[in-house]
Structure 1
């Protein structure tokens, strides 16, 4: 029985972020599953529509990708989401996989599925972004109204408890908020902040909400409070340590395959 790999991302309309952040994860999965074709799906219908309209580029939905995999004669598929949390997008993915017919499906977990996953992600980020004693590292995630936002809050607590480390977390649409981050950085008393997207791909949220010139951006708020900032416009998919974690989850999911 032939096996395929399906990499499922939320997606991005920024082609530079697609190439630099999403493609490397897909390539890492291909390396981990030699001889197995790797397919792509985006969960966001808005992203898929905009890519089609603006770039004349088609990306499958999860359902379309599964149908393509069946049509190509595959009998099994290892599905690895590049999602960070088990939130709404993951719930939709699980529903689509449950409804899949004619395929043996093995699904990996998101990057942060539970609190046991926090330390590995934090270690990869600290290794990728070391900072000096005058600089705080501020991670910006997306945030969600879904109960999975509790993982961001748990990560924020874990970061605060790190001995001697000035690493903090905020989110665009959840908690901790930008205001929370500004207050925490002020309390740390470090004059500089390195802003890093806790996002797979550095698209709109990284370029605008985090690093943009508008007064409400994270960078603008911190600079208005007197901090000197620098921004990393690169997503998690560029980091070797993060890609390794996604590959590990896919290999764990495939463990029952012959």
Structure 2
């Protein structure tokens, strides 16, 4: 049984590598140019002001791919439901002007891809806007694998010519784009955060989302990369999973720092950043750190608003669309 599970896991990683690196080929009888489209798949946010992080990334992708439609998809069904309820809430819309119409009707990746295919787009690249290859990216991967497996009796009727998937910011398993190199690039992208903390003579503390049942050890690897790159106290902890707030607090105290610059290590500064991190409840990180004796400064800037971080997704999308061969 253990051997069987190992083989299943190994097969899943192999399929994932093929999915990221190679197109889903349609028949040779295809006539006319193949229409391209891009889908940006984010967890999403229900906070209108936090949308700017996602919209900043979309703007950069649109500039990199002029003339190619770029659609947004939210992987969280809970977030999608909230926006759908607001579609018919005229009072809410009057109080929250400036929200793009496509956000109110935002769909999941599967429905978004299906809509594009129905409109004649057969070459579709999906770029994950997740931080690391965790639960949400795993589910997105399985969706893409399922779509790529579709075949038709007539080759020309195969729904897709190419389906690509771009990796998250901190990379994914595989040797084509080693995730350790992606971590190093991500650390370089956040140099301005370290510079700001240094000016304040403060430790830099990031709150990540994490996951209770999916390994989040990559946060610890990213923390180590930041500390080595900048020789400054930088700490990353999660709302869920490892490293926890308590893990972070222990090492923060050992650093000797008295001040803290607290920022979200999330694409958007939404609910978790506003409440779990910067809220006024007793279990908010700002409150707990203050009670622990630290002078805390809050910066509610989502990663997507940082241009150097947003550029990572543009590059990963380019990497995905540039691959023309099957991996070994």
Q: Does residue 34 of structure 1 match 2:66?
A: yes
Match of 1:112 in 2: 170
2: CA distance between counterparts of 1:163 and 1:52?
A: 44
Superposition map of 1:97-108 within 5 A: 97-100=144-147, 101=150, 102-103=159-160, 104-108=162-166
Offset at 1:87? 1.1
Match of 1:67 in 2: 114
What TM-score comes out, normalization by structure 1 length? 0.94
- 8 Å CA contact 1:5–1:38 kept in 2: the answer is yes
Alignment RMSD? 1.6
Match of 2:291 in 1: 224
Match of 2:235 in 1: 168
2: CA distance between counterparts of 1:87 and 1:4?
A: 25
* 1:13–1:254 distance in 2 versus 1, CA, 3 Å: same
Moved more, 229-238 or 49-58: 49-58
Unaligned stretches of 5+ in structure 1? none
Offset at 1:97? 1.1
What TM-score comes out, normalization by structure 2 length? 0.74
Q: Does residue 126 of structure 1 match 2:126?
A: no
- Looking at CA atoms only, which structure, 1 or 2, has the larger radius of gyration? 2
1: CA distance between counterparts of 2:181 and 2:272?
A: 27
Offset at 1:146? 4.3
Match of 2:35 in 1: 2
Unaligned stretches of 5+ in structure 2? 1-33, 89-103, 151-158, 172-178
Match of 1:50 in 2: 82
